[in-house]
Amino acid sequence: MTSRGFKENDFAKVAEFFDRAVSIANDLKNTEKGSKLKGFREMCLVGPSVHPDLIKLREDVMTFASSFPTVGFDESEMGFTGEYNFDVVAA
């Protein structure tokens, strides 16, 4: 992350993202289905719709991460210019 230009406050922001993610995972774990590992994994495969805070967390992380340069790539050489859809990752 330092190679992307992160400063001390940026690392604090990343820690906040992790804290939010762990809190969401804990919420899921405390459900009837999530109390068993198999059920928890199934819930995680559903994607952001399984917990309302996941959608906001994803948006916040993407906005934050995209404000830093990607190491090893020149932005002018990158071909993708649309919105990324991570919902397909869970499938």
Map out the domains of the chain as residue ranges. 2-70+79-90
State yes or no: pLDDT of 91 exceeds 70.
Answer: no
Q: What pLDDT is attached to residue 81?
A: 62
* pLDDT greater at residue 20 or residue 3: 20
State yes or no: pLDDT of 89 exceeds 50.
Answer: no
**DSSP conformation letters of 20-44:** HHHHHHHHHHTSTTTTSHHHHHHHH
Digit-coded pLDDT (tens) for 47-67: 777 888 988 998 899 899 888
Digit-coded pLDDT (tens) for 7-48: 899 999 999 999 999 999 999 899 898 899 998 888 888 877
Question: Whole-model pTM?
Answer: 0.70
Q: Which two tokens stand for residue 64?
A: 């934050």
Where b means 16+ CB within 10 Å and e means fewer, 11-46 reads eeeeeeeeebeeebbeebeeeeebeeeeebeebeee
Q: What type of residue sits at position 15?
A: A
Q: Which two tokens stand for residue 18?
A: 């992790």
Q: What type of residue sits at position 49?
A: S
